[in-house]
Amino acid sequence: MQETATARVAGFQRTKLYDLLAALPLVAWYLFGLARQMPLTLIRVQELTTGTITTLAFLQLIALAGSMFLIFVLILLLITRKTPEFKTCGLLPRTVALGGAFLGNGFLYLKAVALSLPAQALADLLIIGGAAGSLVAVSGLRGAFSVMPEARSLVTSGPYAIVRHPLYLAEMIGIAGLVLQFQQPWAAMLGIAVGVLQYWRTVFEERVLTAAYPEYVAYRTRTRRFIPYLF
pLDDT digits (tens, 9 = 90+) for 93-108: 999 998 988 888 788 7
Determine the average pLDDT of the residues in 67-79.
83
Per-residue pLDDT, 86? 86
pLDDT digits (tens, 9 = 90+) for 158-214: 999 999 999 999 999 999 998 998 889 999 999 999 999 999 999 999 999 999 999
Domains, in order of start, for the chain: 2-222 (1.20.120.1630)
Name the residue with higher pLDDT: 66 or 191. 191
pLDDT-derived band at 226 (thresholds 50, 70, 90) equals very high
- Given a cut of 60, whether residue 113 has pLDDT beyond it is yes
Per-residue pLDDT, 2? 54
Q: Which residues contact 121 (CB under 8 A, 6 or more apart)?
A: 59
Per-residue pLDDT, 167? 93
Contact 148, 87 (CB under 8 A): yes
- Interior/surface letters 69-97, b for 16+ CB within 10 angstroms, e for the rest: ebbebbbebbeebbebeebbeeeebbebb
pLDDT-derived band at 221 (thresholds 50, 70, 90) equals very high
